Structure 1
Amino acid sequence: MPASAQVVSGLRTFAKDVADGFIEITHNGFALLGLAVAFAAILLISRPDLRHSGEAQLRDWLQARQVATLGTPVEPDAVERATATNPTELPKEQAAVAYWLSKKYRVAAEPLAVLVSEAYELGERNQLDPTLILAIMAIESSFNPFAQSSVGAQGLMQVMTRVHTDKYEHFGGQLAAFDPVSNLRVGVKVLKECIARAGSLEGGLRYYVGAANLPNDGGYASKVLAEHARIRQIAGRPAPAAAPAKPALVAKEAAPSTVAAADVVADGKLLVN
Structure 2
Amino acid sequence: MTASGKLGSLTRGVQTFCCDVAEGFFEITHNGFAVVGLAVVFSVLTLLARPDLRQAGESQLMTWLHARQVETLGLVPELDAIDRATALNPKELPKQQAAVAYWLSKKYRVAPEPLSALVAEAYEIGQRMKIDPTLLLAVMAVESGFNPFAQSPVGAQGLMQVMTGIHSDKYENFGGKLAAFDPVTNLRVGAKVLQECIQRAGSVQAGLKFYVGAALLAEDGGYAEKVMAEHARLQQVAHGRPVPIAPPPTLRTVAPNPAPTPQDQDAPAVIS
Judge same fold: TM > 0.5, yes or no.
yes
- Structure 2 unaligned runs (5+)? 1-22, 242-257
% same residue: 58
**In the alignment, which residue of structure 2 is the partner of 1:114?**
117
Distance 1:68 1:126, change over 3 A: same
Task: Give CA-to-partner distance per residue, 1:112-158, whole Å, 9 cap, x none.
Answer: 11111111111111111011000000000000111111111111111
Distance 1:205 1:72, change over 3 A: same
Task: Give CA-to-partner distance per residue, 1:204-234, whole Å, 9 cap, x none.
Answer: 1122111112222121111111111111111
One-letter code aligned to 1:170: N
After alignment, is 202-211 or 21-30 more displaced? Answer: 21-30
Q: What's the offset of the Cα at 1:80?
A: 3.0
**Would you say 1:78 and 2:81 are equivalent positions?**
yes
Distance 1:217 1:30, change over 3 A: same
What are the residue-to-residue correspondences of 1:83-162 with 2, within 5 Å?
A: 83-162=86-165
**In the alignment, which residue of structure 1 is the partner of 2:268?**
270
In the alignment, is the contact (CA less than 8 A) between 1:98 and 1:109 conserved in 2? yes
**Would you say 1:192 and 2:195 are equivalent positions?**
yes
Q: Which has the higher contact order (CA 8 A, sep 6+)?
A: 2
Distance 1:262 1:150, change over 3 A: farther
Distance 1:264 1:111, change over 3 A: farther
- Structure 1 unaligned runs (5+)? 1-15, 239-258
**Would you say 1:175 and 2:163 are equivalent positions?**
no
**In the alignment, which residue of structure 2 is the partner of 1:4?**
none
In the alignment, is the contact (CA less than 8 A) between 2:48 and 2:54 conserved in 1? no
Using the size of structure 2 for normalisation, the TM-score is 0.74
**In the alignment, which residue of structure 1 is the partner of 2:260?**
261
One-letter code aligned to 1:37: V
Q: What's the offset of the Cα at 1:169?
A: 2.4
How many equivalent residue pairs? 238
**In the alignment, which residue of structure 2 is the partner of 1:10?**
none
**In the alignment, which residue of structure 2 is the partner of 1:37?**
44
Q: CA RMSD in A?
A: 3.4
Secondary structure in 2 aligned to 1:163? Answer: coil
**In the alignment, which residue of structure 1 is the partner of 2:219?**
216
**In the alignment, which residue of structure 2 is the partner of 1:256?**
none
In the alignment, is the contact (CA less than 8 A) between 1:214 and 1:261 conserved in 2? no
**In the alignment, which residue of structure 1 is the partner of 2:252?**
none
Secondary structure in 2 aligned to 1:79? Answer: helix
After alignment, is 216-225 or 80-89 more displaced? Answer: 80-89
Q: What's the offset of the Cα at 1:108?
A: 1.2
